[in-house]
Structure 1
């Protein structure tokens, strides 16, 4: 496919805009707090749009559209479930994090348990951010780019994007990430909406015409228990656990909330992100599902997204969508790099030095860490092609690694009796069992859906945390758990808005209602 001069101009304009934002924000970045938490001055609009953009990676664009083509709308559960989890976070966990004035989620584990748990979880998060989030995003984006530029060298493209994302992230930190994410979210929504409208237009905007040739159950979200893609027990058990880690515990995501001006801004930002997470079903997955009729016989579902662009988008819109693809790549790369550098500096370098870093030191270490992780991700990304599949790679990583962490986190948050020794033993045991199950599944000795694995590891770790806390170590004192466990005050707003529609509780209820309506319509 030959890209027109107009499309190239649009893409160039996008890169110029990103560069300008990076330069402007970098001039305002003077301390580690500025670099890691945007000076704690983010407002709800920036938070909500950034949460959305950072989640929609290039692998998401390609994967959601391809999965909808291959198996239907069932995988949309990961999208609309996110809205419900963000509502839970907005009224339970996020206010707690902000009141505690923590800078990283692992920092909570140290305050609640001990330093071992902080370093353990921080290392896990850094690994996932660099090896899964950053590297997989770079790799998936390069695959799509090769469709439009067949002679493109995959490794060169990956290194180029890593350098672009790494440089402005290293210079401007979280503020640069968030404000470029705002631009990227707008481009993403505009580009994918254009694809959705033009795809639906191939059927003269007739729902019956668009759906008449689809296989039975293709537009159904809830699948039978023996469904190989997303069985309904897995929808209830595994998806919420993986989603909880991603939206509530993942530094990559929660860092935007920690940078909020206050609890109200954080809460409203999370609610906005929950509303936006309903859109991928309509602007990314439905076009993929309709493509069954329009693009029969594609040899790979991953080709659906680029083929829709090739076949149906006119000059100009193609440039917008390709800019959206680049946005998706960079928003994932910058977010993951910034969160990984934050964790390395605050959870490892600062404790090892035994003193709080000066603003200048914090910024210097953060910049070097970002550049270092950028190089690691760029080197690792091309190697992902040797794995059986991109989504198998991502799903296996998350299901086996994060589920035990979610178990001990929730026990510690809601049960004051949980202690450090119990949590550490449960976490180590949970990951030991995870390694065993992974080996058995990969050796075809047993067959177990990864969502069931997630539920099993979560339950095992939570139960072990309770049992080991009662058997080993002393119970924490009230002083040790005060302000570190759930409190009813986290459910109430900081202030009562004058208008009912401005009340976060009403806004959250509206998002929940829209989510339930979506599930009912596509059940």
Structure 2
């Protein structure tokens, strides 16, 4: 084992704290039981700080700490574009998506699709989402987390996978979204604090006695080729981050889909007290996003500068934790990484259980299910999805950059999903048949382009497929000649009105991002 008794004590304290808080907030008053609104949407009572913290804790996982550090090691600062463009995506979603969702008082994204289109669209997308969440996201989080535990503590990967699954399952399966969201507030403190400590120590070492700021200067001098946000075609990482596409191309498809149409993220906003509270939470998350590359990309570049002896890129962050951090600090950093993994696992399981229970189980298997049965089914859905992920996770061990694997294969669903939602919002003539064709076409177009043009960067492919899906919806509406749908959304200017504080905060984020891209273009 590569961890001291002090570090292990700190880590155990963190585990006990999270489990205690998770189980404590999951309590119900004597003589009462959770209903579906309590379990799946925390009683629609989340405050902005809980929403913002939970969004970040759910988003930042092993995919970022391990996967993005690995890509930072291999590619460089260009990986930060995922986080910085996400800050803009959160602003757009908060202003234009959230008011529509909350006005509809929906529980799930498939539910919105049923209300705007029909039951077929809802069911197809629900099945797609369940498959992606279980077989791509849940499994990759478990794998990357277990990889880190293996490198730091010497535990065999399968034990790390099972241990993480049990830890996340103990409180999230029982407590539902409220337990997940409120423990996420603690988790985000650990992951940001622990991540900053790791980055500081790595930069301090590169400073050669002159401090972390000098270390960053030395890092930039030593690895200047890695400090470019826009890659040219000669760069080996161009296929994953194809130049200007990260600003005006396919990355926006992934970005708006992930933050605005993804149950895993948007469920926190659906549980808000009000539209204004949800928007404040998302802008709060946007500010945190500006700092995330410092936690998850810079360490990977630092590992490269320190000439870490790695067999594959995804070992960069585990190497830093194992070899650079002193006793005591290692325990905090390890707790931070575990916090990121466990919070994402818990959030993913909650979203899986919500979609399965409300969009598959209730309408097709038990139409008359009562509230108690729905909560029980949600818990079983979480448990079964976790068992499946445990079985599949070890199969990912052959990957070099797991983060890129996740992005590429999620990209098979995101163009179609985003086109359907945008059409549902803003194209009053969009039909259910068009939406269904776009959902299926997203996979068909993606598969064909991957086969016909294997050298085409997947991000560009995603942008092209999105255009095809949008055209499919428009052409279908023209062929059907049904006119304005009776289910179309009534869009008004007042619906998208935001507070002065929101607008100021959004402008500050945009100015900061403009400065980043000007400096490191």
Task: Give the secondary structure class of the aligned counterpart of 1:16.
Answer: helix
CA distance in structure 2 between the aligned counterparts of 1:96 and 1:230, rounded to whole angstroms: 32
Name which of 423, 427, 438 aligns with 1:426: 438
> In the alignment, which residue of structure 2 is the partner of 1:91?
95
Report the counterpart of residue 201 of structure 1 in structure 2.
204
Using the TM superposition, give the Cα deviation of residue 295 of structure 1 relative to its aligned residue in structure 2, in angstroms: 2.5
Which residue number in structure 1 is paired with residue 493 of structure 2? 488
After superposition, residues 49-448 of structure 1 pair within 5 angstroms as 49-150=53-154, 152-202=155-205, 203=207, 204=210, 205-206=213-214, 207-216=216-225, 218-225=226-233, 227-235=238-246, 236-353=248-365, 355=367, 357-386=369-398, 390-440=402-452, 446-448=454-456
**Structure 2 CA distance for partners of 1:172 and 1:473, relative to 1, 3 Å:** farther
Aligned equivalents of 1:296, 1:508: Cα separation in 2:
39
Partner of 2:9: 9
Q: Secondary structure at the match of 1:103?
A: coil
1:480 alignment partner, SS class? coil
Partner SS, residue 411 of structure 2 = helix
* Residues 398 and 15 (structure 1), Cα distance of their counterparts in 2 relative to 1, 3 Å cut: same
Question: 2:36–2:375: 8 Å Cα contact kept in structure 1?
Answer: yes
Aligned partners of 1:2 and 1:148 also within 8 Å: yes
What's the Cα RMSD here?
Answer: 1.9
Q: Deviation at 1:373? A: 1.0
1:469 corresponds to 2:477: yes
Task: Check whether the contact 1:168–1:176 (CA below 8 A) recurs between aligned residues.
Answer: yes
TM-score (norm 2): 0.93
TM-score (norm 1): 0.93
The superposition leaves residues 151-199 of structure 1 with CA deviations (integer Å, 9 ceiling, x where unpaired) of: x222222122112212311100001111111111110001110011112
- CA–CA distance in structure 1, aligned partners of residues 319 and 439 of structure 2: 44
Measured after TM superposition, the shift of residue 209 of structure 1 is: 2.4
Secondary structure at the counterpart of residue 435 of structure 2: helix
Instruction: Give the secondary structure class of the aligned counterpart of 1:245.
Output: helix
Residue 382 of structure 1 and its aligned partner are, at CA, apart by 1.2
CA contact (8 A) 1:247 1:253 kept: yes
Q: Assess, with a 3 A threshold, how the Cα gap between structure 1 residues 183 and 405 changes in structure 2: closer, same or farther.
A: same
Alignment CA distance shift 1:246-1:24 (3 Å): same
Offset, 1:303: 2.0
Equivalent residue number for residue 460 of structure 1: 468
Q: Are the counterparts in 1 of residues 123 and 360 from structure 2 also a CA contact under 8 Å?
A: yes
**Distance in 2, Cα, partners of 1:485 & 1:108:** 14
1:91, distance to aligned residue in structure 2 (A): 0.8
User: CA shift at 1:415, angstroms?
Assistant: 0.9
Given that residues 71 and 313 in structure 2 are in contact (C-alpha distance below 8 angstroms), is that contact kept between their aligned partners in structure 1? Answer: yes
- 1:455 Cα offset (Å): 0.6
Specify whether residues 299 and 425 from structure 1 end up closer, same or farther in structure 2 by C-alpha distance, changes over 3 A only. closer
Task: Sort the Cα spacing of 1:290 and 1:2 in 2 relative to 1 into closer, same or farther, 3 A.
Answer: closer
Q: C-alpha deviations, 1:87-113, integer Å up to 9, x for none? A: 001111011111110111111111111
For residue 215 of structure 1, report the CA deviation from its aligned partner.
4.3
Deviation at 1:364, TM superposition (A): 1.0
The Cα of 1:388 is off from its aligned counterpart by 6.6
Cα distance between partner residues in 2 of 1:299 and 1:486: 54
Alignment of 1:504 with 2:498, yes or no, is no
CA distance, structure 2, for counterparts of residue 387 and residue 520 of structure 1:
34
The superposition leaves residues 124-165 of structure 1 with CA deviations (integer Å, 9 ceiling, x where unpaired) of: 111111111111000001111111223x22222212211221
Moved more, 7-16 or 347-356: 347-356
Given that 2:161 and 2:390 are in contact with CA atoms closer than 8 Å, whether structure 1 keeps it comes out as: yes
Question: How many residues are paired up?
Answer: 507
Partners of 1:388 and 1:255 lie apart in 2 by 31
What is the rounded CA distance, in whole Å, between the counterparts of 2:402 and 2:303 in structure 1? 21
Distance 2:380 2:126 in 1: 18
**Residues 148 and 426 (structure 1), Cα distance of their counterparts in 2 relative to 1, 3 Å cut:** closer
Q: Within 1, Cα distance between the matches of 2:280 and 2:354?
A: 24
Q: Tell me, what secondary structure is at the counterpart of 1:428?
A: helix
Q: Is the 8 A contact 1:126 1:340 kept in 2?
A: yes
Corresponding residue for residue 520 of structure 2: 522
Point out the more displaced range, 412-421 or 207-216. 207-216
For 1:211 and 1:518, the matched residues in 2 are separated by 15
Contact 1:234 1:451 in 2 (8 A): yes
Contact 2:120-2:436 at 8 Å conserved across structures: yes
In structure 2, distance between residues paired with 1:379 and 1:435: 26
In 1, Cα distance between equivalents of 2:35 and 2:198: 42
| Alignment partners' CA distance in 2, 1:141 and 1:430 | 30
Q: Distance in 2 between matches of 1:504 and 1:242?
A: 24
Shift of 1:290: 2.8
1:30 CA drift (Å)? 1.1
